[in-house]
Amino acid sequence: MLLLSIAVAWCGISSAHAMVGEPEVATAQAKEQRVGEDAAGAAASSAAAAAAAEAAASDPPASTEPLRTSCPSADLFVIASAATLRDAPDLAGKPLAVLPIGVRVNANCERGEWRRVWAQSVAGLIGWVRADLLAVEAPEFEKIQAQFEAARADDHAARRMYAERMVALAPTREAGHQRLISVLESLGDADALRRARDALSAVRTPKVERAPGEDHLLLAVDRGFISPVAKIGPQGITSYDRDSVYSDIKGQADEQPTFFRPLRALHYYSRGGAAGLVRVLRREEPSCESLMASVEPVGMEVAADRMNGFATNVALPLAASGPIEQPNASERVRMTAWLEAALREQGLRLDQARAIMAKAQSEDESIRVHIARRGATGERMLVGVLRTAVPGEGFAPPPGKSEEIATIRDVSAIVIADEIPKRNGKHRYALSHSVAALSPGGDLSSSFAFLDYVDADGDGFSELLFVGYGYEWWWYEVWKRAGKGWRVAASGGGGGC
C-alpha cells in the first residue's frame, strides 16, 4: 500500500521557509481569493483543484504524530470552503492535503500569517495553514448566510466567497447554490455558472448516471460511507484496482475517481433488494490512506450511519428490499455451537473453546448472527461472525501452531449455513462454510464483520459483503458461491496505515 509521506515544520524553521516576497493584500478576503485557497466553486467540484498545479515533485519526510513543543495549542476549525495544508509556512510549500470546511485541527506554533496544525481526521497529517482560514468556532450555515446578506451588493468577491462556503458546508441545501448562481450571473462567469446550475439540478433531481468509460462498479456501503470493492464485467465480479486512483495530495479533486464527485447519485441495495439512492457528500480521509466518501440517503427515512449494503452506478434488476430479519432463539443456539466447533477445528481444547465462547456471549458485539437470502430461490442463510479476545493472559497455542503463535490473544470465525427445505414443510440447515483464525493480536490481528447481501451479478445467487479489520487497516470483500461453498470474488477499498 502506498503511504503518503508528510513533513513536520518546526517553529525554529530556516529562513528559506520564511514568508519572502509575498505582496501585501488589502484584506484577508482578497488574499483568500488571490491564492485560491477558498475556491470551492459549485459542489460538484472541489476546492482542491487550485492545489494541483502547486504540488512539488518530491515527498517530504514522514510523520503523523503531533509535535512536542512549547507552543500553546488550541482546537480550531477550517472556515474557508477549503484550505491547503502545506509542508512549510509559505505559498511555495508543498501541498500535503486539502482540508474541507468545518474540519477540526489542533493548532500550535505560529509563523507570520501561518499556523502549524495537526489534522487528525485527514490522515493525521501535520503541516501549515494560513491563519485567516481558521477560527475558534465551527462554521455554521446560517451565520455564513447572514454574512452573505450583509455584504455589499457590488462586492461580488465577498459574496461569492460566502456562497461557496455555504455550498461546501451544506452541499445539499438549495439556498447556498441559489446564492452562488446569483453572484455568478452578476459576474458573467459562464463556466462556473454552468457548473453551479448543474449542481443545483443534482440537488433537486438526483439521478444515477454512469460516467463515460467508467466500469460497472460495486461499492460497499458501510455506516454512511462508500468504498469501491469490485467491478462487474465479462469476467464476472473482480477486484477494483484501488491503487490507480490515489492522488499525492490528500483531498485533491482532479485526481479523484468520478464516483466520489460531490452530489453524485448511486443506486443503493440492502437486504437483497433495491432500497433507493445514496448521494455523495464529500471524499473522506480518516486514515493515512483510504478510499472512502460520505453519503446520505435520498428519499429514505433512515439515518446515514444505519446504512449497510451495496451501491452501484448501474441499476440491478431486483425487487424492493424487505424488512430486516432476525434469527430466532433456536438458530442462535445452533450458530453458537457451529462457531465453537470452528474453534475446535483449529486445535483448541474443549475447555478453551468454551471459555472463549462464554466470554464472547457476555459481550455485546462479539457474536453476530445474521439472516440472508440465497437469491432467486429465497431460502434463508445463517451468517455467524465471531470477533473477540481470549480471556486472561491468552492461551498456549495448540500442537503444530507453536512456531507461528507464541500466545493466542485474538480469535475470529465465520460460519455460513444454508436452509434446506424438507418434504414435510420444515427445514434444516447445512454448513456451507466454516473457518476460524487464531492470532497473537497486535499487528497480526485479523477479523471480519458481515455487512449485507445482494445478487450483484444476476446469476440467481446472492453475494455476501464483509468488512475485514487488521491492526491499522480495513478492507472489504465480496464472497461468491463456489459449488457448495464460498470464495472471495473481490477484495478492496477501505484504507489504513
In a domain, residue 485? The reply is no
Count of the separate structural domains present in the chain: 4
Same domain, 129 and 145: no
Strands 308-312 and 216-222 come out as antiparallel
In a domain, residue 379? The reply is yes
In a domain, residue 177? The reply is yes
* Residue 168 three-state SS: helix
* Residue 249 three-state SS: coil
Same domain, 47 and 120: yes
User: CATH number for the domain including 69?
Assistant: 2.30.30.40
Sequence-distant (6+) residues with CB within 8 A of 473 are 1, 287, 494, 495, 496, 497
Angle between helices 329-344 and 350-361 (to 10 degrees): 140
Same domain, 339 and 435: yes
Dist CA 448 CA 387 (whole Å): 7
Same domain, 337 and 450: yes
Dist CA 453 CA 471 (whole Å): 26
Strands 104-111 and 114-119 come out as antiparallel
Last residue of a domain, one of 312, 339, 364: 312
Same domain, 54 and 120: yes
The pLDDT value recorded for residue 367 is: 97
Contact 208, 315 (CB under 8 A): yes
Q: DSSP secondary structure string, 288-348?
A: SEEEEEEEEEES--S-GGG-EEEEESS----PBP-PPP---HHHHHHHHHHHHHHHHTTT-
Quickly tell me which residue has 460460519 as its cell.
415
List phi, psi (to 5°) of 490: -155, 150
The pLDDT value recorded for residue 13 is: 34
Sequence-distant (6+) residues with CB within 8 A of 434 are 338, 341, 342, 345, 413, 414, 415, 416
Amino acid letter, residue 185: E
In a domain, residue 391? The reply is yes
Last residue of a domain, one of 204, 231, 257: 204
Same domain, 123 and 238: no
Same domain, 126 and 161: no
In a domain, residue 184? The reply is yes
Q: DSSP secondary structure string, 270-281?
A: ETTEEEEEEEEE
Q: What is the DSSP letter of 250?
A: B
Dist CA 328 CA 17 (whole Å): 66
Contact 66, 126 (CB under 8 A): yes
Q: Which domain holds residue 246?
A: 216-312
In a domain, residue 491? The reply is no
In a domain, residue 166? The reply is yes
Q: Which residue pairs from 53-60 have beta carbons closer than 8 angstroms and sit at least 24 positions apart in sequence? A: 54/84, 54/91, 54/94, 54/95, 55/94, 55/95, 55/248, 55/249, 55/252, 56/94, 58/94, 59/4, 59/5, 59/94, 59/248, 60/5, 60/6, 60/7, 60/87, 60/94, 60/96
Residue 402: left (phi > 0), alpha (psi -120 to 50), or beta?
alpha
Q: DSSP secondary structure string, 96-151?
A: EEEEETT-EEEEEEEETTEEEEEETTTTTEEEEEEGGGEESSPP-HHHHHHHHHHS
Same domain, 150 and 100: no
Q: Which of 484, 376, 379, 462 is nearest to 426 (CA)?
A: 379
> Model pTM?
0.79
Q: What is the DSSP letter of 205?
A: S
Same domain, 306 and 361: no
* Residue 162 three-state SS: helix
Contact 7, 116 (CB under 8 A): no
Dist CA 159 CA 4 (whole Å): 36
Last residue of a domain, one of 135, 155, 190: 135
Same domain, 89 and 159: no
The 3-state secondary structure of 2-69 reads CCCCCCCCCCCCCHHHCCCCCCCCCCHHHHHHHHCCCCCCCCCCCHHHHHHHHCCCCCCCCCCCCCCC
Same domain, 101 and 180: no
Q: Which of 376, 235, 247, 405 is nearest to 316 (CA)?
A: 376
pLDDT tens-digit profile, the chain (497 residues): 333 333 333 343 332 222 222 222 233 333 443 334 443 333 334 333 333 333 333 333 333 444 444 578 899 999 999 999 999 999 999 998 889 999 999 998 899 999 999 998 887 889 999 999 999 999 999 999 999 999 999 999 999 999 999 999 999 999 999 999 999 999 999 999 999 999 999 999 999 999 888 899 999 999 999 999 999 999 999 998 765 554 555 555 445 677 888 899 999 999 999 999 999 998 887 666 788 899 999 988 888 889 999 999 999 999 999 888 999 999 999 999 999 999 999 989 999 999 999 999 999 889 999 999 988 778 999 999 999 988 877 888 777 666 667 788 899 999 999 999 887 778 899 999 999 999 888 888 889 999 999 999 999 999 999 999 998 889 999 999 999 899 999 999 998 86
Contact 372, 360 (CB under 8 A): no
Q: 322 burial class (0-12, 13-18, 19+ CB within 10 angstroms)?
A: exposed
The pLDDT value recorded for residue 245 is: 52
Dist CA 445 CA 412 (whole Å): 9
Dist CA 110 CA 130 (whole Å): 10
Same domain, 333 and 449: yes
In a domain, residue 489? The reply is no
- Bridge partners of 386? 367, 413
- Bridge partners of 463? 454
